[in-house]
Amino acid sequence: MNFYISSFRYKIACVCFFGAVLSLANALLLKTPPEEILGRYGLSLCAMLALSFALWRPAFAYVREDARSLWEGRWDGPARTPAAEERERLRFERFYPKTKYALMRDPAGHRVATTLIACSCVEFRKKRAPCKHMFELARLTGALTEAGEEASRE
C-alpha cells in the first residue's frame, strides 16, 4: 500500500510512541528521580519519540495540506478523466473529507482505498497515473473542478 501512511508504519509509530510513554510512566511510578530517568532512559526515549514522529509526519502533512494544492502539485498535465456514466458507477462506501480518504468496492468485490496521491487499484499500480477513483475523490474534495476536468481532456 502506497498511502500517506501505511498500516505497518502506523503500527510501528504507535509502538514507539507508546513504548516511550510507558517507559516514562513506569519510571515515574517507581518514584525514580528525574535525573536517573534521563540518565537511564533519555537516549532511548528520545529515539523512540523521534522515530514515531518521523513515521507519522507524512500523514500529518497530507491531512493539513489543501486538496487543490495536493492534486495540482502532483498530477499536472493532461490525464484521463472518467466519463460521466463511469462516474455514476463510482460510489464510495466511506468518504472522509477531512483526511481526503475514501473506500469503495470494485465490481470484482475487492476493496479499493484511495487518497489524492495514491490508490490501491490495479490501474494506478500499473500506470502510476491518476485513476478514476482518484479523479472522483478530487472532484468530491474540490481539488478538481468541472473546468479543470474539461481542461485535462484537451
Give the model confidence (pLDDT) of 130-147 as tens digits.
888 888 888 888 887 654
Q: Are residues 137 and 101 in the same domain?
A: yes
Which phi and psi (to 5°) does residue 92 adopt?
A: -75, 135
Whether residue 71 lies inside any domain: the answer is yes
pTM (two decimals): 0.59
Structural domains in the chain (count) = 2
**Residues 33-72: b if buried by 16+ CB within 10 A, e if exposed:** eeeebeeebeeebeebbebbeebbeebeebeeeebbebbe
All 3 cell numbers of residue 78?
493532461
% of the chain residues with pLDDT over 90: 1
Whether residue 2 lies inside any domain: the answer is no
Q: In what order do the strands lie in the sheet with 94-96?
A: 94-96, 101-105, 111-115
Whether residue 1 lies inside any domain: the answer is no
Mean pLDDT in the chain? 78
pLDDT of residue 133: 86
Q: Are residues 82 and 133 in the same domain?
A: yes
pLDDT digits (tens, 9 = 90+) for 69-109: 777 766 665 555 666 556 556 778 888 888 888 888 877 77
Domain that holds residue 24: 7-64
